[in-house]
Amino acid sequence: MKFSNKKVILFDLDGTLIDSAPDLASAINHMLSSLARPTFSEDIIRSWVGNGAEVLVKRGLSGQSEIDPNIDAALLAKSLQIFLSFYKENLSINTQLYPNVRACLKVLKAQGYRLAIVTNKPFEFIGPILEGLQLNGLFEIMLGGDSLPKRKPDALPLLHVCQELNVSVEQCVMVGDSKNDILAAKAANMQSIGLTYGYNYGEDIGLHKPEAVFDDFADIVATLSPEY
């Protein structure tokens, strides 16, 4: 399908633009080692990524994707501090862009689209990662999971972007790799594009009925390219 009359493209970050799982796994394992707890493979930790730092830390402490409801609050606070401190110093060691991301973002920007990031990742990490991967200057607005009182899958971050950029929901499209992205878009009555290669816990992104599903980031350009 072709998306028409769009002015703003909202992108998730982890699992959509960047594969950050290697560095997140290193930070989780550093945290666990510091607490004298067992560490896990990158593949296992990769399956826990996608709901923000606190959920990832809780999964690390639980040793599985299903969070232990009895995690001690003081332990969680200490663990989160260890994780965030280490991650802050090691944001872009092995984090990489997915194929075609940089080139396609530049094409979309050149075509006149306004670009935004809406992620559940803490805001303080967004800018340094974008700079490290040479994506700075492309995005007009960036929201982290702690930027507003609510985050995806709530509609608030998406509606906030619309308000800040003075555009209607109908003029925007949300692009993401997880159900949180698609659910947030549906809650905001915004069209969405699902990507199959990110962090969606082995679940088919198409189950949540985005308007389009792509395996390759480059397909977004063809779908959004203005018709002459």
Residue type, 175: V
Residue type, 126: I
Those residues with Cβ within 8 angstroms of residue 100's Cβ, 6 or more apart along the chain or in another chain: 216, 217, 218
What contacts 24+ positions apart, CB below 8 Å, involve 194-203? 195/15, 195/16, 197/15, 197/98, 198/12, 198/14, 198/15, 198/16, 198/50, 198/98, 199/14, 199/15, 199/21, 199/46, 199/47, 199/49, 199/50, 200/15, 200/50, 201/47, 201/50, 201/65, 202/47, 203/179
Which candidate in 12, 14, 177, 181 is catalytic? Answer: 12
Active site residue 72: no
What residues are labeled active site?
A: 12
